[in-house]
Amino acid sequence: MTTRSVAGISHGYLSEIPHRDSFDRLLARMPWRPAILAEPPSASDLAPVPGARGVPILGMLPAFVRYGPALQLAMYRRFGPVSWFGGLGVELVTAAGGDAAHAVLTNRDKAFETGWDLLDPLFLGGLTRMDGDEHRRHRRMNQAAFTESAITGYLRPMTRAIAAEITGWPADRPLSMRDASRALSAAVSSEAFLAQPASAGGQATMAAIQRFVDAQTAVLRLPIPGLTWWSGLRARRHLLEVFRRAIPAARRRDGDDFLSVLSRATDDDGVVFTDDELAMHLLHTLFASHDTTGSALTAAVYFLGKHPEWQDRCRAETLALDAPALDAPALKRLELLDRVIRESIRLVVPSPAQLRRTVTDTALVGHFIPAGTLVAVSPLVNHMMPEYWTNPGHFDPDRFSPQRREDRRHRAAWIPFGGGHHKCIGMDFGLLKVAAALDAMLRTFDWELPADYEMSWSYTELGPIDGLPVTLRRRSR
């Protein structure tokens, strides 16, 4: 590939409210109607939370569904670190900026509980739905499945599946990277998590996982046949049945797949997970791994296509890697590739919000929030703050280099995996899974995107609106 300098390209549009079509222009004319969330107690020196009521009944919900974190960034710029908007009877507070986000995620005053019951019943029983002693017990037990040795066990079948999947990708004609990334994630997950090859039912399992993923962002959450939410509920029931049937064999075998490893995990009293608990944790992990891997891989491929000098640097690094097997220690030596992945998910966050709910009246950076309020931390807002990031709209992986480490300018500057007790337990595994896929792509193909092409990201589909058409060129051996 011929290297060209694109250091001046800004990708700030990915975090801004777009003006693509007539619907965007219509939403731009929608009145915000500024208003406060609630009056603070009379003896309090706290400020009320400012925000926007939006239009009657729907509130600001149409703009939030359309723009997601971009709306929250716009509200931060207008109202400050704590703001709110409403719609269809729901009031949502956004905690933005380092101090506000850190306070919510660490929850030192025990004022917050998980807010993911908004997705009930899809996540009933998973780590994201747990708090307190129950969460601590289940999280400690889950940690047994995310040790370096366990991750290396998952990577062995994953790297084989990655190589087989990528080898079959077409060259010299456009490929939808969104669809290819999802297919790749599905192909590599079944055997590593369930010891179930894709050819032996794994494809059907992962297709159900995709339907479950799609239901997370369904606007109409009604159990009506044909709707995405209905399909997600059916997929959830089917998957839990499949997993429960697979558990007895997983308990008997001394395997290194995720289900086998987790079936052997015990708490401090030597008690293992029940079948129902094990099935739900497997569902939760498969969902999180599949969803975030597809999004992160798609974003990284986009930025490497727009910045071929970084593609060249990463390819040179991966070709120089002298390792007998592509295990966790070997992948961790790909430092440039790790920076690219971290920068990619800074600019395009796979999980756009971390949800909490107040269990008592509380104060958040000087603002009064009443009990029972839904609070969202939007990582993208923090990722675009010039207080923490040099030219935040620019793609600059070296900001994660040991010499700069801009992500350490605040504990909540870089939070794509959340923070506090509910920080994603599979963060290291997720990063390595994406690195393994990119390593194989860099060895097999090179690619470049037109200078005038700009990816539009949808936070309802959790992917590029046009699928990100990429033309791969097969490299000569």
pLDDT of 20 over the 90 cut: no
How far apart are alpha carbons 299 and 308 in whole angstroms? 14
pTM of the model as a whole: 0.94
**pLDDT tens-digit map of 387-443:** 999 999 999 999 999 999 999 999 999 999 999 999 999 999 999 999 999 999 999
pLDDT at 196: 79
**Is 2 part of a structural domain of the chain?**
no
- From the list 354, 474, 344, the residue with the least C-alpha distance to 419 is 354
Tokens of 81: 């670190």
Between 36-45, 204-213, 262-271, 365-374, the lowest mean confidence (pLDDT) is in 204-213
**Is 53 part of a structural domain of the chain?**
yes
Q: What is the mean pLDDT of the chain?
A: 92
Residues 72 and 381: beta-carbon distance below 8 Å: yes
Q: If pLDDT is split at 50, 70 and 90, which confidence band does 247 have?
A: very high
Q: If pLDDT is split at 50, 70 and 90, which confidence band does 8 have?
A: low
Side chain identity at residue 424, one-letter code: C
CATH assignment at residue 396? 1.10.630.10
pLDDT at 423: 93
| Binding region | 424
**Is 7 part of a structural domain of the chain?**
no
pLDDT at 439: 96
pLDDT at 121: 64
Q: What is the domain count for the chain?
A: 1
Residues linked to residue 354 through DSSP beta bridges, in sequence order: 377
**Is 1 part of a structural domain of the chain?**
no
**pLDDT tens-digit map of 227-242:** 999 999 999 999 999 9
pLDDT at 118: 67
How many distinct helices (H) and strands (E) make up the chain? Answer: 16, 15
- The residue with tokens 């923070």 is 419
The percent of residues above 70 in pLDDT, for the chain, comes to: 96
| Binding region for heme | 424
**Is 3 part of a structural domain of the chain?**
no
pLDDT at 2: 42
**pLDDT tens-digit map of 109-131:** 999 999 877 656 676 778 888 99
pLDDT at 206: 87
**Is 35 part of a structural domain of the chain?**
yes
pLDDT at 120: 62
Residues 52 and 60: beta-carbon distance below 8 Å: yes
Q: If pLDDT is split at 50, 70 and 90, which confidence band does 327 have?
A: confident
| Mean per-residue pLDDT, 324-335 | 88
**Is 451 part of a structural domain of the chain?**
yes
Provide the residue range defining the domain that includes 453. Answer: 12-474
Phi, psi torsion values for 393, nearest 5 degrees: -80, -10
Between 49-63, 183-197, 292-306, 333-347, the lowest mean confidence (pLDDT) is in 183-197
Rg (CA), the chain: 22
How far apart are alpha carbons 35 and 33 in whole angstroms? 6
Put the strands of the sheet holding 445-447 in their side by side order.
174-176, 469-474, 445-447
**Is 411 part of a structural domain of the chain?**
yes
End-to-end CA distance of the chain: 14
Phi, psi torsion values for 203, nearest 5 degrees: -65, -40
Q: If pLDDT is split at 50, 70 and 90, which confidence band does 467 have?
A: very high
Residues 116 and 376: beta-carbon distance below 8 Å: no
Q: If pLDDT is split at 50, 70 and 90, which confidence band does 82 have?
A: very high
Residues 32 and 52: beta-carbon distance below 8 Å: yes
The percent of residues above 90 in pLDDT, for the chain, comes to: 77
